[in-house]
A and B are shown apart, each in its own frame.
Chain A
Amino acid sequence: ETGVTQSPTHLIKTRGQQVTLRCSSQSGHNTVSWYQQALGQGPQFIFQYYREEENGRGNFPPRFSGLQFPNYSSELNVNALELDDSALYLCASSPRDRPPYEQYFGPGTRLTVT
């Protein structure tokens, strides 16, 4: 069974640019959630995708957007990058159709905005 994978591992962008991060969910999981983790803090929920639609969103501006594809993989897009967007971005997949809906995390993408 393949776990959650994310790409790329590391990324350096300049303020104002746009970035796309990718996530492949674990086999059998149909829900993907994205989290942002700033240095020294716990992960913060960005949004969740289920059946290719956004299904819940945290306190993040609209320049954070996402997609989920029919194979349940997902993308996180961030426009107009700001220095504070520098963080570890985590993707988690879970089976939404059966409790207790435990989420399994990927290794993360480290984004640095300069």
Chain B
Amino acid sequence: DAKTTQPPSMDCAEGRAANLPCNHSTISGNEYVYWYRQIHSQGPQYIIHGLKNNETNEMASLIITEDRKSSTLILPHATLRDTAVYYCIARTGANNLFFGTGTRLTVIP
């Protein structure tokens, strides 16, 4: 599975959009991009996944570049409850998830 690179931390003002970048330059054609988040001491929460097309669900939007070498998770209106560590993972099939260090997002009032 491709290695992913994320900034270690980001801040976002409450009510504004949070844009979390992820680099996965060695991703292969059949690898999905998954995003999870983990609020302190809880189990990781699945957010969204994508393969080639941009995706949107009730939690977030996922924008994948045309060459698939990077992606951005967008939380459209960040709230204090969105403060968490966000993990971007590239994965083939039903393999295990490899969690890197993630991005610690802090939403500021």
**Once the chains are docked, how many angstroms separate the CA of A96 from the CA of B96?**
11
Answer whether residue B44 sits at the interface, using C-beta atoms and an 8 A cutoff: yes
Name which residue of chain B comes closest to A3, CB basis. Answer: B43
Count of chain A residues with a beta carbon within 8 Å of a chain B beta carbon? 29
Residues of B within 8 Å of A43, CB to CB, are 44, 97, 99
Contact, CB under 8 Å: B100 / A104: no
For A50, the chain B residues whose CB sits under 8 A away are: 94
Total A-B pairs, Cβ < 8 A = 58
Contacting pair A105 B95 (CB below 8 A): no
Encoded as 1 (CB less than 8 Å from any A CB) or 0, chain B from 76 to 97 comes to 0000000001010000011111
For B49, the closest partner residue in chain A by CB is: A100
B residues contacting A by CB (< 8 A) are 32, 34, 41-46, 49, 51, 85, 87, 93-102
Name A's B-contacting residues (CB within 8 A). 4, 31, 33, 35, 41-45, 48, 50, 56, 58, 88, 90, 92, 94, 96, 99-108, 110
Contacts beyond the supplied A45-B97, A103-B46, A106-B43: 10 A-B pairs with Cβ under 8 Å: A4-B43, A35-B99, A42-B101, A92-B44, A94-B94, A96-B94, A103-B97, A104-B46, A108-B43, A110-B41
